[in-house]
Structure 1
């Protein structure tokens, strides 16, 4: 655990992300829960401690500077990624962690309880069937790019507030893909993640006021 703690602290410093020791401990507690449940639930193929810090924690937290507003929806959260690390690091925001897989949402619910995360809730549903909460939706919708950009927008548009944004996490990204979106502002943001050499990009799709 000491090695993982050091790797996390160094990674956060390299990425210029502010996260106090209490939050860093909770992030590592989340990894411990993930390892424990993974033995039975098969939640992730990434099991080496160093790789879990890089690919589950730092990869998730790279999105932190790009979140907008107070209410965030994590579509296809799976084992709570990137939603749980972001909720730990950003307690001033409210997170809804959405997934259609009951096995994974049961783990996420237990993780929220054991970590004492009061600013996150888990919902088991398909995104196209999920109704926006009272108050008119979300400021940021976050997804690991489960489909093409036009399809992502089509399936989530009913959950967006005016002036909101969609953040689609991808490996490689291209201007050609951006051009498939018409009538919206979109930009490709390269993410520099400590410990990772693979490409990571964030496509930000802005919604008009």
Structure 2
């Protein structure tokens, strides 16, 4: 059985290796989130990663590595699933407002439980399909780890992006073909390789803007 102390030791090690300096109060909430995810996952199948220790690198650190590229104050995580990358980013960016959107009611119920249990006040949970979501404001950053097709992600969220906002698409292997067929409504601003200590998996972040 994985306990809080064991996860705490491993999280501190992972944060140090990846050059994150996060205060202890937030560290504890990150661990509590992992423990909640592990508990609910046994019944509700929220993530394919079962081991809480692996969740630290493959979920928590993998979410935090895009921190330098966030534009605030309003951030949308589309297809957030179990709250990734939205929950770790919201905990470490308390001055930004996060909307976590998913159409799967099982997952949004879990997320509602998370924000209530951990008292996360800068997160709103949206249980809708993204094309049905029409808030009265726009988002400075729209993030997704879930969409397999880049153009689909961009077109389904275009109406939610501020004029000078950005789309942050988290990918595995460098998606050369998807970039080649990028719709002319959008422009590739930058591509960032995402390095996570002790993980050999290829990760890339595409930063995309609107073509005006």
TM-score (norm 2): 0.92
For 1:104, which of 104, 107, 125 is the aligned residue? 107
* Contact 1:98 1:127 (C-alpha < 8 Å) held by counterparts: yes
Quote how far apart the aligned CAs of 1:39 are.
2.0
For 1:66, which of 64, 69, 72 is the aligned residue? 69
Write out per-residue CA displacement over residues 79-131 of structure 1, whole angstroms, 9 at most, x where no aligned residue. 11111111111101000000000000000000000010000010101111111
The aligned residue for residue 138 of structure 1 is: 139
CA distance in 1, matches of 2:207, 2:146: 11
Alignment of 1:1-209 (within 5 A): 1-131=4-134, 133-135=135-137, 137-181=138-182, 182=184, 183-208=186-211
Question: Where does the alignment leave 5 or more consecutive residues of structure 2 unmatched?
Answer: none
Q: Which deviates more, 76-85 or 141-150?
A: 141-150
Question: Where does the alignment leave 5 or more consecutive residues of structure 1 unmatched?
Answer: none
Quote how far apart the aligned CAs of 1:145 are.
4.7
**C-alpha spacing 1:114/1:30, structure 2 compared with 1 (3 Å):** same
SS in 1 for 2:54: helix
CA RMSD for the aligned pairs?
A: 1.5
SS in 1 for 2:19: coil
* Contact 1:149 1:180 (C-alpha < 8 Å) held by counterparts: no
Quote how far apart the aligned CAs of 1:165 are.
0.4
Q: Which deviates more, 171-180 or 95-104?
A: 171-180
Write out per-residue CA displacement over residues 112-154 of structure 1, whole angstroms, 9 at most, x where no aligned residue. 00010000010101111111x223x100000115132222111
Quote how far apart the aligned CAs of 1:36 are.
1.4
CA distance in 2, matches of 1:208, 1:185: 9
Quote how far apart the aligned CAs of 1:175 are.
3.5
SS in 1 for 2:207: strand
**C-alpha spacing 1:39/1:145, structure 2 compared with 1 (3 Å):** closer
